[in-house]
Structure 1
Amino acid sequence: MSAQAPTIRRREAAVGDGWPSTVPSLLRRIYAARGAHDLDAAQPKLAGLLPPDALSNIDAATELLADAISKGERILVVGDFDCDGATACAVAVRGLRMLGAQDIVHAVPNRITHGYGLSPALVESLAPLAPSLLVTVDHGIACHAGIRAAKALGWRVLVTDHHLPGAGLPPADAIVNPNLPGDTFPSKVLAGVGVIFYVLMALRARLRGQGDARAADADLGSLLDLVAVGTVADLVPLDANNRALVSAGLRRLRARRGCAGLNALIEIAGRDAARLTAADIGFAVGPRINAAGRLEDMAIGIECLLSDDGVHARDLADTLHQINAERRAVQQSMLDDAEAAVAGQPPVDPASAGVCLFDAEWHPGVVGLVASKMKDALHRPVIAFAPAEPDSDQLRGSARSIPGLHIRDVLAAVDVAYPGLIERFGGHAMAAGLTLQRDHLDAFTEAFRATVEQMLDPALLRAEILTDGALRGEEFDIVHAAHLRDAGPWGQGFPEPQFDGEFAVVDWRVVGTRHLKLTLRLDGHPKPLSAIHFGGWREIAPSARERIVYRLAPDDYRGGDAVQLVVEHREPLGAI
């Protein structure tokens, strides 16, 4: 099974006037290609944040919180076992303490023991805590049974979430979610950590209006480091509102004003805090937090983010680092299994779509990473399944989609057409999760493939690489590389700049076992260019001339004014 070679297409950009002279022409072109036609749109500020008033039920949510705080009641924050959920939990606990909560505790489900979200099993285990108010962060919109169980114990429940709701809403006392039907909040792409941050902003305004002195002094901006990490790690689109949040959080982290846990994670990941980027969060900080929830218990990650003791935070960061190394080994083994399984299948008909993978030995905490990697390799929606726990008849699946196919809508369509096949599901346009019984897997696989083929335009199965065109010879320097690095934050919906061009391959060598180090020459450019293609060695020597898609970056290894091309795609000249 293999995907067609991708098509390389250059973005179009109409650059207008009104840019200050401090913005290089290269950046103006890149910003314009992403729909940002002035500096305010390109680099949004906190002052331009959308107000929380338009969020549905925000008044009811802040009333619940203000009432619990004023009465000194116990508030229980329940997070989720991914990075967004962990940072959201830390933001909620830290923020509510700032605003006067004296009795606040937190918890997080164990992936193996409790399953996803606020389940009845989790509520039962939390019953001894006897909170008056339970607050979910980054989940809850699909947790009907768990919320009913909490309500049966006499607890009030506030749901803060960003996942898409199903046909009905759970019986919570209040739900804040920008994706609720009829919600008028302009940005629908807040991460879970962004939603709880907005709830805290609204709560602070309410308490200030009541003359609360503690709220008057509360600096919620100190939580933006956590908001930035959760937002980037959850791969939500970086619209202007999210970019303002992430930019502010990055500024705190670069100034070493982040929380002790994030500072320790940045250090142990070998990143330079002063030059930290959204990519560093996505590829180094976020995975170390996520690893705890994937293989062990996210409580370790949350404890790291809540610690104010630098030594303790460093110890916890070291533990997360070790868990992440184990996660990478497990992931690679599972990827090898998945690639072998796919290779054993006949080539895919270009008109067909939808791949389901399962191995009884796979770990349920890592299937999302496998699905993501295989989706990229095949350019098809992929669902990877693993037993919910060893020898279990229940499977947990993680789905990843390609642009143009809303994967949660696919699962909803399968659920309607084949009732009883899926036990539960939820998610977003590009990622979703589901649970089903092992003996339903074959039937689900066929239903999924058929539904995808009905809903997906076959033309979308041809991968497309968008670039920002070619760089001019004088732009291959450290000044432009630094501008590109610092001009973000780049991410989903506001992609990091990449360029394409035709190069002569002057020299090459294999680095390690999988990477390719290249020396390239651009026609008309006097100096050779250093390039690295991570994972690019496929036991086939590069051609003498190749078309290359690349990013321009400072070469931190060589230092000084050195730059390198980070290769994203290569193809021999003349290839289709």
Structure 2
Amino acid sequence: MFTRLSLPTSAPESVSDFPKIILRTSAATDFSAAVPPLLQKLYGARGVVSDKQIETGLEQLPKPDMKGLPQACTLLADAIQNNQRLLIVGDFDCDGATSTCVGLLGLRALGAEHVDYLVPNRFEYGYGLTPEIVAVAAERQPDLIITVDNGISSIDGVAAAARLGIPVLVTDHHLPGDALPDAAAIVNPNQHGCPFPAKSLAGVGVMFYVLLALRSELRERAWFSGERPEPNLAELLDLVALGTVADVVPLEQVNRVLVTQGLRRIRAGRCRPGIKALLRVAGKEAARLVAADMGFALGPRLNAAGRLDDISLGIRCLLTDDEDVALSLAAELDDLNRERRAIEQSMKDDAMRVLAHLQLDASHIPNGICLYDPTWHQGVVGILASRIKDRYHRPVIAFADADDEEMKGSARSIPGLHLRDALDLLAKRNPGLLNKFGGHAMAAGLSLAKADYSRFEIAFDAIVAELTNEEQLTAAVHSDGELLPADFSIEHAELLRSAGPWGQNFPEPKFHGRFRLVQQRIVGERQLKMVLSPIGADQQIIDAIAFNIDTAQWPNQQADEVELVYKLDSNLFRERLSVQLLVDHLRVVL
């Protein structure tokens, strides 16, 4: 049973399945003739207006001018030269796993002989450098603890380490609170006073920059020699790219450079055996890998370990140099991901059954949605929140039990509402209501007493109502327009694949239009395979596929014409390339 669920009945098609379409408008651009007109239009609509802004060579990366970096480099260089024991404390998601691997592999390559890692199990220790995980870390007698993808809010944990005489170097990218931990050094582009221009780095990107600066520091100390050559840190970019995409950080130019360079290495086969193994179990071909594949195929398999079991399984997969071991570990991760999907579907079915019994008009959807079921899996509530957010276009927080007294929530937001700031405001207005919170603009985590759930639910709805307007709470999709029949070509599809990397805040092009529905059938569990013809071009045949379809509505034998929002893609099957539309939204044209 749900303790409480403030949701209406399933929203009508116009709200949940086919959103309002907003045409993107392109800014004035100054591209050279080398950039095709279609890309000039698409780039301009994303605020990129010149050749310089689409360059993705490593020379485009800004210098590692971050607050705290000099102190961090001194700490690390001294530790390496004095042969001290370094311990990396990571996070239990894909960004945390790749950050841990980049830190460990990079420090070893730079000459550290004693470096190990520790990642808290989310079910035993929770997030970040807590006093409890410091006690576990202390058993390994580290001379320096390095946090990756966490630490900026670990005030108590850093203090606990200090009492034990262990200095802490914090590397993080999450937004800081009003107070900072009293660490030996903090490197975070989002901390106050940091001049580094790229505030959107993922945790793995921050760690990569730390290594770049550390290499320069060691170079100045004449640390490298013929017996100890200077490493090529670009060899870590496959991991940097994976963590950056999986953490759904904005793909501003710095992140596009990091992702592009990592993708090039993977496509060329110059990547970790673990990434090759993950590609194999996911059925993805390295040579045709795009950023979305890392976000929807590789990242979830690594995240599944942290959600259901222990992210160390994923870290071991990424760290091993043995291809057979990597494949075995990747297979375990694939099994965990299948289990995660089954749990997620069961939780979603639970929620939708409750929704079906509530007789509320769609106009009465709460501003901020809270869900809770004591049987839900703590590691999967974030995905559930994301699914409900996509359906109702509302900020959503899904809760599960942490113990008999406390519950933990995972939140997902919509454009226009900064989740971490909203929770901060809520906490200040309701002292003591939240036990802990942190996160980003679009995702956050929190904990509170079970007894305070109803009070929190009301407070969250009120905060969302205050910080948003009707337009922001209306489901909409931005379209790059309609394509002509001649545009449905392999050349255009391949052009779009190569023009990325596309991702958060630099979205993959979407188009909309009407098509004649020639054939339709369900493949797999919930995939609708279609054959379409553009209106007015009945002889032209195009394949299309829609994922996670409502099988109660499709196939629809009465449908002769459909309206779609889709991506133009290409499909390689039996060494033959063909145009394929990836459908995000569809409805019958009556």
Partner of 1:271: 284
* More moved, 26-35 vs 62-71: 26-35
Kept in 1, the 8 Å contact 2:30–2:51? The answer is no
Kept in 2, the 8 Å contact 1:232–1:282? The answer is yes
Alignment of 1:54-453 (within 5 A): 55-213=66-224, 217-345=230-358, 346-350=360-364, 352-389=366-403, 392-453=404-465
1:488 corresponds to which of 496, 500, 516: 500
Kept in 2, the 8 Å contact 1:477–1:561? The answer is no
Report SS of the residue matched to 2:338.
helix
Partner of 2:513: 501
Kept in 2, the 8 Å contact 1:133–1:157? The answer is yes
Q: Describe the superposition over 1:325-381 as per-residue Cα deviations: whole angstroms up to 9, x where unpaired.
A: 111111111111122233333235458401111111111111110001110011000
Distance 2:548 2:84 in 1: 53
Alignment of 1:551-566 (within 5 A): 551-557=567-573, 559-566=575-582
Distance 2:363 2:27 in 1: 39
Do residues 458 (structure 1) and 482 (structure 2) align? no
* More moved, 374-383 vs 458-467: 458-467
> Which runs of 5 or more structure 1 residues have no equivalent in the other structure?
none
- Letter of the 1:378 partner, please give it: Y
Change (3 A) 1:101 1:299: same
Deviation at 1:573, TM superposition (A): 3.6
Distance 1:491 1:108 in 2: 28
2:543 corresponds to which of 530, 548, 552: 530
Distance 1:530 1:43 in 2: 33
Distance 1:203 1:444 in 2: 44
Q: Describe the superposition over 1:92-128 as per-residue Cα deviations: whole angstroms up to 9, x where unpaired.
A: 0000011111111110000111111111111112221
1:547 corresponds to which of 550, 563, 566: 563
Kept in 1, the 8 Å contact 2:56–2:261? The answer is no
Change (3 A) 1:510 1:267: closer
Change (3 A) 1:564 1:15: farther
> Which runs of 5 or more structure 2 residues have no equivalent in the other structure?
1-7
Report SS of the residue matched to 1:461.
coil
Change (3 A) 1:558 1:314: closer
Kept in 1, the 8 Å contact 2:241–2:263? The answer is yes
Deviation at 1:14, TM superposition (A): 4.3
Kept in 2, the 8 Å contact 1:350–1:458? The answer is no
Change (3 A) 1:354 1:14: closer
Distance 1:193 1:76 in 2: 16
- Letter of the 2:361 partner, please give it: P
* More moved, 247-256 vs 348-357: 348-357
* More moved, 558-567 vs 332-341: 558-567
Percentage of identical aligned residues: 49
Distance 1:508 1:161 in 2: 48
Kept in 1, the 8 Å contact 2:27–2:47? The answer is no
Kept in 2, the 8 Å contact 1:208–1:216? The answer is no
Kept in 2, the 8 Å contact 1:401–1:407? The answer is yes
- Letter of the 2:240 partner, please give it: V
Deviation at 1:32, TM superposition (A): 1.7
Distance 1:119 1:427 in 2: 16
2:528 corresponds to which of 506, 516, 519: 516
Report SS of the residue matched to 2:62.
coil
Report SS of the residue matched to 1:241.
helix
Q: Describe the superposition over 1:281-321 as per-residue Cα deviations: whole angstroms up to 9, x where unpaired.
A: 01111011111110001111111111111111111111111
Kept in 2, the 8 Å contact 1:73–1:103? The answer is yes
Kept in 2, the 8 Å contact 1:549–1:567? The answer is yes
Deviation at 1:259, TM superposition (A): 0.9
Q: What TM-score, normalized to structure 2?
A: 0.94
Distance 1:217 1:422 in 2: 48
Partner of 2:5: none
Kept in 2, the 8 Å contact 1:78–1:89? The answer is yes
